[in-house]
Every structure is written in C-alpha cells, then in structure tokens.
Copies of this chain bind each other. A is one copy, B any other.
C-alpha cells in the first residue's frame, strides 16, 4: 500500500515513542525554486485532510542535525549538493497544536493516543534550500500523497505556523542575497542577464534598472560570458552566462567601511 520506497520509509510514525529519533525536535524546510519569473516553494499535500504543509524531517539518535536536513531534502527533491541553510528556530509554545498531525495519522488508519511522539510539543529548526527548478523531482513522504511546487505569490492556507516560516525564510533570503550571492543557486547552469535580473526582482519584490543592474553584476567579476543564446532570430540574441564559482561557496563579504 505504500507509495514510495525511499529510505525515510524507515520513519516509525506508528511507533508511539518515535523510537530512534530525537524527541521534540523537528526540521521544517522551505525549498525555493524559480520558474517563469515566479518564486515557488515545495509543499506536501495530505489526502482526505485538506491539509498542506512544508516538508519536514526528524533527527536520528546518532545523526547530525544538518545531515538529517540534507537527507530529508534529498528525499523530497531527488537532488544532492543543494544550497541549504539553517535560518531560524521556531520554538514558541503557541505553535504546539496536535490536531493537524492527529488528523493526518487518522487518515492513514492510525488511532494515536495523546502521548504519541508526533503529538507532543516540537521545536522546529527552519532550513531554507535553493534548488534548480528544472532538475528537482518532487516526491512525497510517508504521510503525504503529493509533493508539488506552489507559487509563493499565491499560497493556499497552510497548516500550523508554516506560512510564517516561509515569510521568515524569504526575509532571510532577501537579506543574504547580495552578501552571499546565493541567488545563483536558483538558476540553471547557464542563464541570460535578463534571467538573472528577473530573479533578483522577484526575490526583492521590486523592479531594478537594467543598465545599473548589469553594470553592478559585471563589476563583481563572478560571471563568465558564453556564446549567444540561439533564439531563431539571431539579431538580438542575448548572451548566456555562467557563474564562475562553485555555487555552494559564498563570496567573501564586503564591509561597508
């Protein structure tokens, strides 16, 4: 009856004390993609519950926190070596609400008691990831029916505090965009100057001047210019560019002084 065979099927959701996982600590992931001038996030859909939420993960007893996040990210996207960063720990008591999880477990035919490990208070470490939309293959987890991209600009209602988690992740992405040049992780390997400007505009939520954007980006000396993009009408074909550095590596920060 199980729909997938990825290794996190090992998750003992039906084990009342979650044997093998750290208690009370979860991971939630805001996985950003960029496609057709839209920022997108991956969401899980839970059948027969009307619930939608962020991909989550748990930490094995002898596993590193960051490794657990990488593992969950790989399972949801099929991708390795993705830009992934801790950005905030969501630890308010008010986020404790066992009802959505109880509904999900019941929809799977379980009848969990109040002391089931998944129904206790969780503190959640928020991670955000930047993936190449064209390469990700979204895949649901053991409790969900679908995993799919949703436009950030037009999100449906989400379970628990997942909307706030996404907002905080976007805020962090904006703040880090210049400093670490991490936006490049959202583009395919080659892209036009227009693609890059469109990405910056979408993340920052504002229009940028074309000439000064281009001048500024080129002055950073981080792009390699390739051949022109073949568009049929060769006359106005734009150049393709590639990011010089390994995209996981942050560019050294400049001080304002």
Contact = CB atoms under 8 A, between A and B. Distances in A.
Contact of A212 (B91, B178, B204, B257): B257
Contacts of A213: 257
Interface string A88-111: 110111100000000000000000
Nearest to A125: B89
A48 to B, nearest CB: 32
Contacts of A66: 91-92
A216 B125 contact: no
Contact of A22 (B64, B123, B125): B123
Contacts of A59: 91, 123
Contact of A23 (B24, B64, B208): B24
A128 interface: no
A63 B123 CA distance: 11
Contacts of A177: 255
Contacts of A212: 257
Nearest to A88: B86
A213 B241 CA distance: 37
Interface string A46-62: 00000000000001011
Contact of A24 (B25, B89, B255): B25
Interface string A111-142: 00000000001010100000000000000000
A252 to B, nearest CB: 11
A100 to B, nearest CB: 20
B63 A216 contact: no
Contacts of A256: 178, 216
